């Protein structure tokens, strides 16, 4: 369907004591743009005496067009002239008739902006307060987790094992391929770089010490945790957030179930179990990768590699890495759950909180790693 | 409006009584897996009418609406909207048709990240090239038209009540002054006074804008007060269509219990009362 563009023409009334506007074409949203400038000009120039708006040339109209005509009438009325409609079919006049004289006023934004000082420091204060409430929320969840999935009325001691197993499957078992691949490559890269540098000193064999200690103490658990923060932390936030959005969390509360117990606790348990196990898998994969590279680049045989590894690392190297895993798992889960609980009503806020959750979780994981490093060196572990 | 008729005529076949068909559904079958929801269904909607569509819960009223809108695939049959065969139309033809349709989904389907005003302006922005100030005025106009207060315009959907969501969704459906609007249970969840206002609003819009309305509803009041024609969905097809009299005359047990049940009788009695009083005086 093609529309003609809207047109407006002004001419003086025969007696000279007024004006007549001739409207023609289609007055629709799609067709009014071309004459909008002219229209606004006519609307603003002061006219004297009587103003006649001739509708008889109008082929079709919609609310946008009718609203312009209505606005014109109001404007002319305010300028002191009397505006009347002439011609035009019933429906057109009726449509113009039902529109209000003035556009309904948007609510005036009387929000107090505050002084410069306030505007400068209010966001900082808000951020601090938010940090505080985040901390409380995290402690609440952690506390609930320590006490177990406390149901209302002290019903049921724990959590359904089926749920925990499902989550272990989703967060742990299904992450194995990507963790293995990633760690294998990381081990290989560290070994290759190390071998090149150590070659200058003729100490290529020490690449085994390098990879073994670095991987077991730091890299293995750290990268696995970062991977899980991205993979499962985001999933937890999205799941809990979309349940929050659709009032499912409220429904749980009303039914008498504790959302922390039903939703968050199994995920925390699953993460705490899965992450250490994944770390072990990652360590094996990385050491294998390193062995392959050491053999290919430096001609270190597997036998030599293993015996050197045996000398280089002891149980403390393994333990110091593994101890960190459950703590990191807990903090990933808690950060993700807190962010999930903060999701508001919109899809946008869901996206925002998922992003925040991943960023915060990775940050917390790295921070914890640093704290552990200081701690270990202090106690000479 | 009359003048436009020449142009409009080619847009849909004109049936025997000279009424123009804006939506024609022929032989349409829709199913999910092995479950058949609609089986060789036929339906016509005429220009300028308000068609009330009723049927028990889960009979496929929403499915039919979604199929007509091209959101669900159908296994057989043809659907013609505003004279365009939607399945075989080019991208451009479809866009032209889409622009002339307004849809109110059963659950509102407002965009949660946008305020009510921005929701209404989204189709305007997409299809019309108007200055922001005029679009603002038009958005506030639509907000008022559907009976919301102006300060609701700057709220997000999650901050609205159920009834306000319905109204805001209607405002968005009407943003482009469509020729054909689909309303899926517009008055469910509204208070009776609000529902009556809503019905009056639909009737007024039909009269002033020349809308054609396809309204799925369970609200007997709406059926009795604003619908020109009623279609009943049952047994995977349209059981009966016609005026209220046709409904009363129909001998299908579901239709009978629907239109002659206790609730229907009380509504009918109530609707008839004023006229009876007029006759007396
Ligand atoms: N995406 C889907 N997948 C599978 N089945 C579906 C799907 N959508 C709808 N159905 C089924 O189609 C049938 C009709 O559903 P529909 O939503 O159209 O009901 P309705 O008539 O609109 O009911 P109500 O009045 O309660 O809104 C139901 O049996 C429903 O389970
Ligand atoms: Mg439905």
B2 to chain A: which residues are within 8 Å by CB?
Answer: 89
Q: Is residue A117 part of a domain?
A: no
- Whether the pLDDT of residue A110 is over 70: the answer is no
Token pair 């009083």 is found at: B277
Which residue of B1, B8, B173 is the best one to mutate when testing the A interface, meaning the one whose CB has the most A CBs within 10 A? Answer: B1
Residue nearest ligand 1's atom 30 by CA = B58
Question: CA-CA distance, A327 to B66, in Å (whole number)?
Answer: 50
Ligand 1 midpoint to CA B9 (Å): 35
Find out whether the beta carbon of B59 lies less than 6 Å from any atom of ligand 1.
yes
- Residue B102 has a pLDDT of 87
Q: Chain B closest CA to A37's CA: distance in Å?
A: 11
Using an 8 Å Cβ cutoff, are B59 and B104 in contact? no
Q: Does A89 touch chain B (CB under 8 A)?
A: yes
Is the C-beta atom of B57 inside 6 A of ligand 1?
Answer: yes
Residues A309 and A222 in one domain: yes
What is the percent of chain A where pLDDT is above 70? 94
Task: List chain B residues with CB under 8 Å of A64.
Answer: 128, 130, 134, 138, 177
Which pLDDT score, from 0 to 100, does residue A356 have?
94
Could you tell me the strand order of the sheet in which B101-104 lies?
Answer: B101-104, B180-184, B212-216, B50-55, B229-234, B237-242
> Ligand 1 in contact with B32 (CB < 6 A)?
yes
pLDDT-derived band at A191, boundaries 50, 70, 90: very high
Asked if residue A157 and residue A302 are part of one domain, the reply reads yes
Residues A236 and A366 grouped into a single domain: yes
Average pLDDT, integer, range A253-281: 87
Strand pairing report for B50-55 and B101-104: unpaired
Last residue of a domain, one of A98, A123, A156: A98
Do B177 and A63 lie within an 8 Å CB cutoff? yes
Are the Cβ atoms of A346 and B136 closer than 8 angstroms?
A: no
Residue B52: its H or E element: strand B50-55
Nearest CA to ligand 1 atom 28: B58
Q: How far is B80 from chain A (nearest CA, A)?
A: 16
In the prediction, which pLDDT does B14 show? 65
pLDDT mean over A79-86: 79
Q: Where residue A93 sits, what CATH number does that domain have? A: 3.30.750.24
Reported as a single tens digit per residue, the pLDDT across A293-308 is 999 988 899 999 999 9
Strand-pair category, A82-86 with A50-61? parallel
pLDDT per residue as tens digits for the range A29-82: 878 888 888 888 877 877 777 778 888 878 888 888 888 888 888 888 887 777
Do A88 and A173 fall into the same domain? no
pLDDT in tens, A128-138: 999 999 899 88
**Residue A309 forms part of a structural domain:** yes
Task: Identify the pLDDT of residue A359.
Answer: 96
Q: What is the pLDDT of residues B91-101, one digit of tens each?
A: 888 888 888 88
Q: Tell me if B60 CB under 6 Å of ligand 1.
A: yes
- What is the Å distance from ligand 1's center to B35 Cα? 11
Tell me whether strands B21-32 and B76-81 are parallel, antiparallel or unpaired: antiparallel
What residue's CA is closest to ligand 1, atom 14?
B60
Mutate to test the interface with B, among A242, A246, A346 (most CBs of B within 10 A): A346
A55/A21 Cα distance (integer angstroms): 9
Q: Is B58 in the pocket of ligand 1 (CB under 6 A)?
A: yes
**CA of residue B37 to ligand 1 center, whole Å:** 8
Residue B43: CA atoms inside 13 Å, Cβ hemisphere, count? Answer: 31
Q: Is residue A348 part of a domain?
A: yes
Name the strands in the sheet holding B84-85, side by side, starting at the edge strand that comes first in the sequence.
B35-46, B21-32, B76-81, B84-85
Q: Which atom of ligand 1 is nearest to the CA of B66?
A: 18
For residue A62, the chain B residue with the least C-alpha distance is B177
The arrangement of strands across the sheet holding A18-27 comes to: A7-12, A18-27, A50-61, A82-86
Spatial separation of the C-alpha atoms in residues B249 and A59, rounded to whole Å: 42
In a domain, A103, yes or no: no
Q: Which of residues 19-78 of B touch A (CB under 8 A)?
A: none
Average pLDDT in chain A = 86
B5 or A169, higher pLDDT: A169
CB atoms within 10 A of CB B135: 19
Site to probe by mutation for ligand 1, drawn from B31, B52, B61, B222 as the one with most ligand atoms within 8 Å of Cβ, is: B61
- Let me know: does B37 contact B237? Beta carbons within 8 Å: no
Beta bridge partners of A106: none
Q: Is the pLDDT of residue A315 over 60?
A: yes
* Confidence band, pLDDT 50/70/90 cuts, at residue A157: low
Indicate the burial class of B188 (C-beta count within 10 angstroms; 0-12, 13-18, 19 or more): middle
Question: For the whole model, what pTM was predicted?
Answer: 0.73
Per-residue pLDDT, A220:
93
Q: What is the ipTM of this complex?
A: 0.73
Give me the residue spans of the domains in chain B: 2-100+178-238
Q: Is any atom of ligand 1 closer than 6 Å to the C-beta of B281? A: no
Judgement on whether residues A159 and A84 belong to the same structural domain of the protein = no
One domain, residues A51 and A168: no
Please indicate if any CB of chain B lies within 8 Å of the CB of A345. Answer: yes
Domain boundary among A33, A65, A98: A98
Out of A45, A76, A98, a domain closes at A98
Give yes or no for B17 touching A (CB within 8 A): no
| Domains in chain A, number | 2
Of A19-28, A65-74, A260-269, A334-343, which has the strongest mean pLDDT?
A334-343
Residues A163 and A19 in one domain: no
Q: Which of B37, B105, B182 to mutate to test the pocket of ligand 1 (most atoms within 8 A of CB)?
A: B37
d(C-alpha A211, C-alpha A192), whole Å? 10
Q: Where are the alpha helices (DSSP H) in A234-314?
A: 234-245, 248-255, 259, 265-298, 302-312
B14 forms bridges with which residues in the sheet?
A: B20
Distance in Å, alpha carbon of A30 to nearest chain B alpha carbon:
5
Q: Do A98 and B208 touch (CB under 8 A)?
A: yes
Whole domain around residue A59: which residue ranges? 7-98
B143/A contact by beta carbon, under 8 A: yes
Homologous superfamily in CATH for domain B2-100+178-238: P-loop containing nucleotide triphosphate hydrolases (3.40.50.300)
How big is the A-B interface in CB pairs under 8 Å?
99
Token readout for A378 is 């202090």
pLDDT of residue B39: 87
pLDDT tens over chain B, length 281 residues: 343 433 443 455 666 566 788 888 888 898 888 888 888 888 888 888 899 888 888 888 888 888 888 888 888 888 888 888 888 888 888 888 888 888 888 888 888 888 898 888 888 887 787 888 888 888 888 888 888 888 888 888 888 888 888 888 888 888 888 888 998 888 887 788 888 888 888 888 888 778 899 999 888 888 888 888 888 888 888 888 888 888 888 888 888 888 777 776 676 666 655 444 444 43
A282 and A177, same domain (yes or no): yes
Is the CB of residue B30 below 6 angstroms from any atom belonging to ligand 1?
no
């Amino acid at each position: 369907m093609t529309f003609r563009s809207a047109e407006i023409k002004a001419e003086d009334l025969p007696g000279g004591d007024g004006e007549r506007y001739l409207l023609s074409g289609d007055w629709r949203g799609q067709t009014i743009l071309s004459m909008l400038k002219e229209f606004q000009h006519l609307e603003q120039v002061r006219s004297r005496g009587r103003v006649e708006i001739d509708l008889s040339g109008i082929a079709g109209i919609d609310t946008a067009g009718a609203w312009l005509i209505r606005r014109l009438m109001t404007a002319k009325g305010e300028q002191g002239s009397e505006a009347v409609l002439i011609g035009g079919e019933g429906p057109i006049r009726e449509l113009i008739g039902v529109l209000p004289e003035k556009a309904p006023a948007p609510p005036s934004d009387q929000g107090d902006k505050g002084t410069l000082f306030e505007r400068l420091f209010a966001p900082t204060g808000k951020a601090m307060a938010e940090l505080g409430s985040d901390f409380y929320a995290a402690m609440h969840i952690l506390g609930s987790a320590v006490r177990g999935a406390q149901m209302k009325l002290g019903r049921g001691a724990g959590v359904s094992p089926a749920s925990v197993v499902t989550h272990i499957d989703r967060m742990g078992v299904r992450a194995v391929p990507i963790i293995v691949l990633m760690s294998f490559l990381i081990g290989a890269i560290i070994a290759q770089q190390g071998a090149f540098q150590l070659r200058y000193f003729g100490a290529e064999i020490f690449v085994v010490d390098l990879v073994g200690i670095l991987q077991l103490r730091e890299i293995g658990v750290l990268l696995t945790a970062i991977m899980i923060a991205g993979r499962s932390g985001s999933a937890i936030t999205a799941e809990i957030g979309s349940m929050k959005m659709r009032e499912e969390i409220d429904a749980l509360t009303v039914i008498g179930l504790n959302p922390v117990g039903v939703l968050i606790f199994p995920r925390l348990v699953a993460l705490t179990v899965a992450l250490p196990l994944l770390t072990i898998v990652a360590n094996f994969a990385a050491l294998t990768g390193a062995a392959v590279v050491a053999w290919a680049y430096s001609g270190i045989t597997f036998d030599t590699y293993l015996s050197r590894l045996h000398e280089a690392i002891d149980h403390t190297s393994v333990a110091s890495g593994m101890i960190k895993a459950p703590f990191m798992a807990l903090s990933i889960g808690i950060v993700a759950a807190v962010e999930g609980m903060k999701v508001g009503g919109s899809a946008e806020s869901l996206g925002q909180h998922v992003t925040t959750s991943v960023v915060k979780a990775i940050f917390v994981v790295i921070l914890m790693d640093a704290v552990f490093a200081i701690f270990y060196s202090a106690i000479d572990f | 409006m009359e003048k436009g008729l020449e142009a409009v005529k080619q847009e849909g076949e004109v049936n025997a009584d000279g009424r123009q068909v804006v939506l024609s559904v022929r032989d349409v079958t829709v199913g999910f897996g092995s479950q058949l929801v609609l089986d060789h269904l036929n339906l016509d909607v005429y220009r300028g009418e308000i068609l009330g569509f009723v049927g028990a819960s889960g009979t496929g009223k929403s499915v039919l609406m979604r199929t007509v809108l091209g959101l669900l695939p159908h296994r057989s049959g043809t659907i013609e909207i505003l004279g365009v065969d939607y399945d075989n139309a080019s991208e451009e033809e479809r866009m032209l048709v889409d622009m002339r349709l307004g849809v109110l989904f059963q659950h509102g389907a407002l965009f949660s990240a946008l305020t009510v005003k921005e929701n209404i302006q989204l189709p305007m922005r997409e299809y019309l090239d108007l200055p922001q100030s005029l679009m603002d005025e038009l958005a506030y106009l639509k907000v008022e038209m559907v009976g919301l207060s102006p300060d609701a315009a700057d709220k997000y959907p999650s901050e609205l009540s159920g009834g306000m969501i319905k109204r805001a969704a209607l405002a968005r459906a009407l943003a482009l002054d469509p020729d054909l609007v689909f309303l899926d249970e517009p008055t469910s969840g509204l208070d009776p006074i609000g529902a009556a206002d809503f019905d009056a609003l639909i009737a007024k819009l039909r009269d002033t804008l020349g809308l054609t309305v396809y309204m799925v509803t369970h609200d007997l009041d709406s059926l009795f007060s604003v619908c020109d024609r009623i279609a009943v969905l049952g047994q995977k097809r349209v059981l009966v269509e016609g005026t209220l009299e046709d409904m009363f005359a129909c001998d299908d047990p579901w239709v009978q219990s629907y239109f002659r049940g206790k609730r229907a009788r009380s509504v009918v009695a109530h609707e008839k009362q004023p006229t009876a009083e007029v006759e007396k005086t």
